Structure 1
Amino acid sequence: MILDLVLLWWVWMAFALVLVILEVAIPGFIFLGFAIGAAITGLLVLFSLFTMGAAVLLLIFAGLSLLAWLGLRHFFALPAGQVKKFDRDIND
């Protein structure tokens, strides 16, 4: 059982890498929160000494992804009351 847990961390890291690649291909902070959640979950699995079931890992992943997405939204948001305006066309 411990051997399975030790081998599971790289699956989470590979999943995080795939999500980062998708974020680069499809920008907009859609996949970045999930990638951060998967990477932190992989680190928790790597450094934890207790066994966790799949349901607990998915719950941890979902919670961490939500926290990461909210943090990214707060960090990259426009200041309150501002709206992005475009004064000229990109084709001009």
Structure 2
Amino acid sequence: MWWSIWWVWIAAGFLIGGLEILAPGYIFLGFAIGAVVTGILLGLGVLSGGPALLVLTFAICSLVAWIALRRTMGVREGQVKVWDRDINDN
């Protein structure tokens, strides 16, 4: 089936990466990296199994990529504004 073809995972990763352009903020980039890594592992023959194993691999790779992106490019100091008074307070 389609889930066991390596280039489908890589193409899906690039499509998901294209969504990052429409919604910047590293929202979809972790999923894109997870799909590409899953495709590479499948293409190299490291993975061979059913869809449950592939989806689990995709989820774990996406989570690791998201955590790595969050640590390296996460919220920078000064990026979040904290309001200490309300405009309606007099």
State the TM-score, normalizing by the size of structure 2.
0.78
CA distance 1:10–1:85, change in 2 (3 Å): closer
Q: 2:78 aligns with which of 67, 78, 83?
A: 83
**Unpaired runs of 5+ in structure 2?**
82-90
Deviations 1:18-69 (A, max 9, x none): 1111001111111000000000000000001662111000000000000000
Q: What residue is the counterpart of 2:60 in the other structure? A: 63
**Unpaired runs of 5+ in structure 1?**
87-92
Number of residue equivalences: 80
The Cα RMSD (Å) is 2.3
Q: Which runs of 4+ in 1 moved over 6 A?
A: none
- Percent identity over the alignment? 43
Which one has the bigger helix percentage? 1
CA distance 1:49–1:26, change in 2 (3 Å): closer
